Amino acid sequence: MVAVAWISAALALLPLAMALANLRWFTRPRRLPPRGTGVSILIPARNEADAIERSVRAALASTDAAIEVVVLDDDSSDETAAIVARLAADDDRVTLMRGPALESGWAGKQRACWLMSARARFDVLMFVDVDVELEPRAAALAAGHLLADPGLGMVSGFPRELTLGFAERLVIPWIHVLLLGYLPMRRMRRSSAPAYAAACGQWIVARRAAYREVGGHAASPLSRHDGTSLPRTFRSRGWRTDLFDGSELARCRMYDRFAAVWRGFAKNPGEGMTTWRALPVWTALIGLGHVLPLPLLVAGFVATWPELAIAGAIGTAANLALRLLLCARLGQSLVGAALHPVGAATMLANQWTSLVRDRFGRPSEWRGRRYLGSRSA
């Protein structure tokens, strides 16, 4: 038991050390693009009447680069298309596309992004989820970051994640825990190996020529996790990809209820960490390094077992230090930090539920569509 406790402490210290190193490389873009650069801001939308106008107006407020805003209405049953049509009538920089019926072999977002890329006029493609609200300089600075290095095919920004409800505060900060705690960013930046593929699907920026060359979203048409599949596509064709801290340039509220959080994180079985090969490894890393330290600390005190208590205290302190670091740098919730082990256990339960449901042929549902593993249902 003592050996397990010390392994747990070591696995808690690992992401803290990695995050301390990564924050030197997870920088905010500061360079504007060359004069005359144009950015096509591409927004896939399906039943987004509550958010679409705010998203489009924020994009239209962009400065320091020419922009257009293309919205593909993906068979919405609400007023999404009507709202965009009204905005397009008022501003000729807005284009409304109406997506055809979804063909077999495609996920909705992948098909929408691929179709919009063909309509885009400018050489920088910026794919933005409808729940992302851009600051005025976001498009230009993201484009400047991409174009500053000719070896980059795409870059991705991580917005400030707004977490107002309890479930959001518990789970959503794990996006940054996993990114900063386990991805060696310095090595990622120097390599084009697909093993370092990572992005935030909410905000992806690509060179149009490179995107079309590698096949873009059409290279993985059934993916619901383009934050992994798209950078892997670029890297497999020799392009490098990069990440940047977009917390000062964009904000996003992903989900607003526990059910939405659960469905959103469970929608991609067979991708990212949610595979039968990867998830047992992540379960060991997260279970031992993030869930176990606090119970070890409590058990050590209750049983007056000093070695157990010391190892548990080290692991718990490392977890808390990591989360406080992310609170200070990224504005994460202190509630989520205080309940760190609960969030870790919730996320693991969500991923295992998703994977097991898929194994037994039960599809995940997203945006009113049903998907089974790498197939649509």
Class of the 27-162+183-254 domain? alpha beta
Domain ranges of the chain: 27-162+183-254
Q: Which structure tokens are listed for 191?
A: 């390599």
Spatial separation of the C-alpha atoms in residues 232 and 175, rounded to whole Å: 18
Q: How many CA atoms lie within 13 A of 344 on its CB side?
A: 25
Looking at residue 122, its pLDDT comes to 98
Looking at residue 377, its pLDDT comes to 38
Spatial separation of the C-alpha atoms in residues 171 and 336, rounded to whole Å: 8
Q: CA nearest 366: which of 232, 233, 271, 231?
A: 271
Decide if 173 contacts 100 (C-beta within 8 A).
no
Spatial separation of the C-alpha atoms in residues 286 and 347, rounded to whole Å: 10
**13-16 long-range contacts, Cβ below 8 Å, gap at least 24?**
13/314, 13/315, 13/318, 14/181, 14/289, 15/177, 15/180, 15/181, 15/182, 15/289, 15/318, 15/322, 16/181, 16/318, 16/319, 16/321, 16/322, 16/325
* Digitized pLDDT (tens) for each residue of the chain, 377 residues in all: 889 999 999 999 999 999 999 999 999 999 999 999 999 999 999 999 999 999 999 999 999 999 999 999 999 999 999 999 999 999 999 999 999 888 888 999 999 999 999 999 999 999 999 999 999 999 999 999 999 999 999 999 999 999 999 999 999 999 999 999 999 999 999 999 999 999 999 999 999 999 999 999 999 999 988 999 999 999 999 999 999 999 999 999 998 889 999 998 988 888 889 999 999 999 999 999 999 999 999 999 888 888 989 999 999 999 999 999 999 999 898 999 999 999 999 999 999 999 999 888 887 776 777 776 644 43
Decide if 288 contacts 7 (C-beta within 8 A).
yes
Spatial separation of the C-alpha atoms in residues 305 and 233, rounded to whole Å: 51
Sign of the C-alpha dihedral computed for residues 329, 331, 332 and 338 taken in this order: positive
Got the DSSP string for 314-369? HHHHHHHHHHHHHHHHH---HHHHHTHHHHHHHHHHHHHHHHHHHHTT--EEETTE
Looking at residue 373, its pLDDT comes to 61
Spatial separation of the C-alpha atoms in residues 39 and 350, rounded to whole Å: 37
Q: Dihedral, CA atoms, 284, 263, 356, 182, nearest 10 degrees? A: -20
Count other Cβ atoms within 10 Å, centred on residue 145: 24
Spatial separation of the C-alpha atoms in residues 113 and 182, rounded to whole Å: 29
Q: Which structure tokens are listed for 312?
A: 């548990």
Q: Which structure tokens are listed for 63?
A: 């400065």
Q: What is the side-by-side strand order in the sheet with 94-98?
A: 94-98, 66-73, 38-45, 124-128, 203-207, 152-161, 240-252, 132-134
Looking at residue 2, its pLDDT comes to 86
